[in-house]
Chains A and B, each alone.
Chain A
Amino acid sequence: MVILWGILIVAVLGVIAVISMYNQLVSVRNEVKNAWAGIDVQLKRRYDLIPNLVETIKGYLAHEKTVLENVIKARQQAIDVSGVKEQGRAETALTQSLRSLFAVVENYPNLKANQNLLSLQEELASTENKISFSRNNYNDWAQKLNTAVEQFPTNLIAGTFNFHKEEFFEVEDASVKEAPKVKF
């Protein structure tokens, strides 16, 4: 009788533990999804700003079409791509193409004073900051999910109910990796 009760209690406790671990995993996964949606909003915002930017600059940069074309191409690629890692790569490319565009703009004093361009530039910079903040948020949650998926005993539940690890959203920071410029 005592043994039977003992088994029953252990079984009940086990079920409770499984349920709570499962629920925890679900809530973390939802947070990851939510955080990803947060990044997505900012990325979309950036895609929407770029056509305006191109429209503003086009008239001035008649001789440097390639820089503009690179930006347009990079934007299209970033929209088309799917998957966290690929998205990260595409965004890095887009950021770099924008940077080289603004480097070119520096050589055109008339363009630099253009009010539309200034506000677009400001808004793009702000969106980039927002992307990086929401990226941190996403990566924190992804890390939490990945730890849970790998750690004992949650890994057992994760295995059974098909939870898997999420990739980190990584963007290479061009400003950090850029080699120091040599002046002669």
Chain B
Amino acid sequence: MTLTYTEIEKQKNTRIWVFFIVVVLFYFLIAVILANVTKAFFVLQAADLFGRGSPFLTRHELLNVLLFALVAATLHAFYSIHHVSSFVTQNLGAIAVDPADTYHQRFKTIVEEVNVATGNKYIIAPVVIPTLAMNAFALSHDDRHALMGVTEGLLSKLNRQQLQAVIAHEVGHIVSGDSYQTTLGCSFFGIYAAMLSGMRKIFRGGRVRISGRAGGIVLFLALIYILLTLLQFFYNLIRLFVSRDRELRADAIAVKITRDPISLSEALVLISRGWRGFGDIDSNLESLFIMNPLREEVDESEGFWADLLSTHPPIRKRIALLTQMAHVDAQAIEEHVLSQEKIKEKTRESAFEKKGSQWMVMEKEKGWAGPFTFPQLMHLGWVTPDTWLKGIEEESVKQAKDEPLLKPFFEGQLKGFQASALLCPTCKQSLVEETYEGAIVKRCLFCEGVLLEENKMPRLVIRREVRFDERIERLAELAQKSGLQKFRLRPPGNARSSLQCPRCGAWMVKGFYTMAYLVEVDRCFSCNLIWFEKDELELVQYLIEHTKGL
């Protein structure tokens, strides 16, 4: 790959023009065909109303149709190019990067770094899709502005280099104009796609009574439906024709940016082994992603038809090309990735091991209080540098300012112990913000309950920093069993809990986390908060991790 960015951009401009012209012509063709079918239908079916005539469009009508299509296309293109990013973000449920979240922050930093490699030519807005799947996409709405999204699954599973490689791949799509092409295509054919899905809904409803003239209309709709499906198919062919080799090109650009083919191939191995689906995704959008979210058989085969019909090249081929660049064996990469996964699994920290030492503290006029752990101590509020304290395993008594571990606390420089304004619903002590699995959660230092925004759950569930010990394993089994019993005894429903929401003060609702993970938690539905009592969050995490096999 000796192309510089300017050369890629020149190529990109010609490519986009050719693509644009093809798309516009095709758009007109569809409009004409639709108009003609409509006319023919009315002429043949309802001759008594409209009078006899030729079933084909006259030259005058043809001109009108084209003009109308042109106006509609322009308006539609303008509208949808301006709205495509919000459309896609809504469709995928993407959210803006959370600055307090370590993983999100890392993603944002890497996007900024990789953008430097392009000479800072683009303004890339990073977003995160809260799903456990692993995937990434990029789209641009004009020459300078682009949107890049990755899933929580990807953020948690890839290391820094691998994530950098994936981001560079997406930047490759932006630089070479693929994203813009797709955006154009999506927005032009959005009209037809919307018509098609609307009709599908009508047919699925199946409550159309067929009688007399209405029967004719149903026939007409069916005809249009078949036509649109056919045309969609042809459009897909055009689209697919251009899209397969561009994944390879984006891979090549990624390597050019990062000079690191190994990390990219590792990332591809990881993504291909993981789950990358989204469920219901618009087929026009699938070529935006680094790997096809729908996992089709045809993707993994080669040859003329496969080349024609699939949006993404076979993963094996991509990895083989990358590993060739680095002169390593593809098999070795795969084995390396697997062994790294195992090492990562082993180095997970137990959530319960890091409690550390405990102290007794001299409380004014009350005598020794405690024992307190380090975070509790800092949270007590009345501990000053002059307070006397005693390590629980030590004999000597000293002042707090002489304890080296407390020094950063008194200097106000310690991370992650910000007291929040909310109070623990059980202990009525103020909750403390703490970094757990890279996200900010609010924990009570005394009863160890956790308050969490519902939309943070996907992150916690997919991240693998905390290791669960045997106690959690056993508790999880028990919880599932007793949950099942409760489930049988009374129909699943939510009961009023004895706790009040720390934010709005309303009574919370007690219910299972989900019907699949039978851990009882308290929720406030108006604030979207969940209150986990001690261990409950870990139980949910453990259960999800061990049933899905993610």
A interface, CB within 8 angstroms of B: 31, 34-35, 38, 42, 109-110, 113-116, 118, 122, 126, 129-130, 133-134, 136-137, 140-141, 144
Contacts and interface: CB of A to CB of B under 8 A. Distances in A.
B119 A34 contact: yes
Contacts of B413: 114-116
Nearest to A56: B413
A177 to B, nearest CB: 17
Nearest to A108: B404
Contact of B117 (A114, A137, A141): A137
Given A114-B413, A130-B113, A130-B116, 9 more contacts: A34-B119, A110-B407, A110-B408, A113-B408, A113-B415, A118-B415, A133-B117, A133-B257, A136-B257
Interface in B470-509: none
Nearest to A34: B119
A122 B110 CA distance: 12
A31 B119 CA distance: 10
A122 B4 CA distance: 30
A63 B6 CA distance: 53
A129 B413 CA distance: 26
Contact of B113 (A34, A38, A129): A129
A140 B4 contact: yes
B339 interface: no
A134 B116 contact: yes
Contacts of A118: 415
22 contacts: A31-B6, A35-B119, A38-B120, A109-B404, A109-B405, A110-B408, A113-B414, A114-B408, A115-B415, A118-B415, A126-B109, A130-B112, A133-B117, A133-B257, A134-B119, A136-B257, A136-B259, A137-B117, A137-B119, A140-B4, A141-B4, A144-B4
Contacts of B116: 38, 42, 130, 133-134, 137
Contacts of B238: none
Contacts of A140: 4
B482 to A, nearest CB: 40
A118 B413 CA distance: 10
Contacts of A115: 408, 413-415
B2 to A, nearest CB: 9
Interface in B341-379: none
B114 interface: yes
Contacts of A34: 119
Nearest to A131: B116
Contacts of B257: 133, 136
A34 B118 CA distance: 12
A44 to B, nearest CB: 14
Contacts of B118: 137
Given A110-B408, A114-B408, A136 B112 contact: no
A111 B414 CA distance: 10
**Would you list the 6 A-B pairs with minimal beta carbon distance, nearest first?**
A133-B117, A133-B116, A130-B116, A129-B113, A115-B415, A115-B413
Nearest to B7: A144
With most chain A CB atoms within 10 A of its CB, the pick from B114, B116, B414 is B116
Instruction: Pick the most buried of A38, A115, A129: most chain B CB atoms within 10 A of its CB.
Output: A129
A159 B414 CA distance: 61
A38 B119 CA distance: 7
Contacts of A134: 116-117, 119
Contacts of A114: 408, 413-414
Nearest to B6: A31
A136 B119 CA distance: 10
Interface string B409-420: 000011100000
Contacts of A126: 109, 112-113
The residue in B6, B113, B118 that gathers the most chain A C-beta atoms within 10 A of its C-beta is B113
Contacts of A141: 4
B405 A110 contact: yes
Nearest to B404: A110
A110 B405 CA distance: 6
B62 to A, nearest CB: 45
A137 B117 CA distance: 6
Contacts of B112: 126, 130
Interface string B384-418: 00000000000000000000110110000111000
B518 to A, nearest CB: 39
B170 to A, nearest CB: 15
Residue of B114, B120, B413, B415 ringed by the most chain A CB atoms within 10 A: B413
Nearest to B407: A110
Contact of A133 (B6, B113, B405): B113
Interface in B69-116: 109, 112-114, 116
B167 to A, nearest CB: 11
A9 B6 CA distance: 31
A6 B472 CA distance: 91
Contacts of A109: 404-405
A164 to B, nearest CB: 20
A133 B257 CA distance: 7
B117 A136 contact: yes
Interface in B411-440: 413-415
A35 B118 CA distance: 10
Nearest to B412: A115
A80 to B, nearest CB: 25
A137 B6 CA distance: 12
Nearest to A27: B6
A101 B114 CA distance: 27
A181 B533 CA distance: 48
A142 to B, nearest CB: 11
Nearest to B109: A126
B271 to A, nearest CB: 22
B122 to A, nearest CB: 14
A35 B5 CA distance: 12
A109 B408 CA distance: 10
Interface in B1-57: 4, 6
A158 to B, nearest CB: 18
A130 B414 CA distance: 28
Contacts of A130: 112-113, 116
Contacts of A133: 113-114, 116-117, 257
Contacts of A42: 116
B254 to A, nearest CB: 12
A35 B6 CA distance: 13
Contacts of A31: 6
A167 to B, nearest CB: 19
A113 B109 CA distance: 21
Interface string B113-152: 1101111100000000000000000000000000000000
Nearest to B405: A110
A130 B164 CA distance: 12
